[in-house]
Amino acid sequence: MSLLAGKTALVTGGTRGIGRAIVDHFVAEGALVFFTYAGSADKAAEIEVLHGGQARSFQADAASFDRAHEVVEAIVEAAGALHIVVNNAGITRDNLLLRMTEAQWDEVLAANLKSVFNYTKAATKVMMRQRAGAFVNISSVVGLGGNAGQANYAASKAGIIGFTKSVARELGSRNIRANVVAPGFIATEMTAALPEAELQKWLQDVPLGRAGTGADVAQACAFLASDRASYITGQVLLVDGGMG
């Protein structure tokens, strides 16, 4: 049987990169997938058509607390359940600390960390009623080791780890699990923006000798979201080719 057959999943930021790969992989594994996006309405419509009813989208700024609750309510109304939430939406606004603006700090913390609170909080009541649920939150190796020029991003990604471990402890008795996937260097539009020299510097530190793909991350997410991981919670799984 498919890994996620019978499950309803929500993926934030599902139109591009890692989130898109997660949507595709979860559908292939039998899940009904709802996904959000910030602005890529055309891409979202394409994905819906491609998956013929197994993937449905919402335009929703992940930083909005109220919108997160509306999205979760709409999913429960449509599907009657919500078993899996993958908090994937994220942005970078890189700058050295000396030059980092307050707006760059606030935007990254809102899109990357507050968003995880928003969707976890909105889905928790539903999962408590079901007495089952799984959160998979996308952090980064940068959240563990830091990175010059990314103090805002690293803080948001480290925050996700502390948040997830706390949720795992709070909700474990309700059969709700919460885990983190920390990708290393994954080839997406986010990393395509890096200068070639920086890219080569990153790749030198990868024992497997290549950048990861969205599918590499999606497979780890599917495992942690599935019943095969039923005794795993509060963990951080690095999907980084061995660089961590």
For ligand NAP, the binding residue among 2, 28, 30, 38 (CB under 6 A) is 38
Alpha helix (H) residue ranges in 4-141: 17-28, 41-51, 65-79, 102-109, 115-130
Q: Please state the closest distance from residue 35 (CB atom) to ligand NAP, in A.
A: 8
CA distances from 234 to 115, 134, 153, 154, 178 (A): 19, 11, 21, 19, 6
Does the protein bind ligand NAP through residue 19 (CB under 6 A)?
A: yes
The 54-73 contact track toward ligand NAP, x by CB under 6 A, reads: -------xxx----------
Window contacting ligand NAP (CB under 6 A); options: 23-31, 95-103, 126-134, 181-189: 181-189
Here the tokens at position 165 are 């471990």
- By CB under 6 A, is residue 124 in contact with ligand NAP? no
36 binds ligand NAP (CB under 6 A): yes
Q: Show which residues are catalytic.
A: 153
User: Does 221 engage in binding with ligand NAP (CB under 6 A)?
Assistant: no
| Site mask for ligand NAP (CB under 6 A), range 161-180, x = bound | --------------------
Stretch that binds ligand NAP, among 45-53, 89-97, 172-180, 223-231 (CB under 6 A): 89-97
The token pair at 94 is 């890189």
Alpha-carbon separation of residue 126 from 77, 155, 178, 217 (angstroms): 11, 29, 15, 26
- Interface with ligand NAP (CB under 6 A), residue from 51, 90, 161, 176: 90
Q: How far apart are CA 168 and CA 149, in angstroms?
A: 31
Residues across the chain: 244
Cα–Cα distance, 235 to 181 (Å, whole number)? 8
Q: Provide, rounded to whole angstroms, the least separation between the CB of residue 90 and ligand NAP.
A: 2
Number of residues that bind ligand NAP (CB under 6 A): 30
- Tokens for 1? 């049987």
At closest approach, how far in Å is the CB of 45 from ligand NAP? 12
Least Cβ distance, residue 47 to ligand NAP (angstroms) = 10
Here the tokens at position 122 are: 């909105």
Q: How many C-beta atoms lie closer than 10 Å to residue 174's C-beta?
A: 15
* Residue type (1 letter), 231: Y
User: Residue numbers of the site for ligand NAP (CB under 6 A)?
Assistant: 12-19, 36-40, 61-63, 88-91, 111, 138, 140, 183, 185-186, 188-191
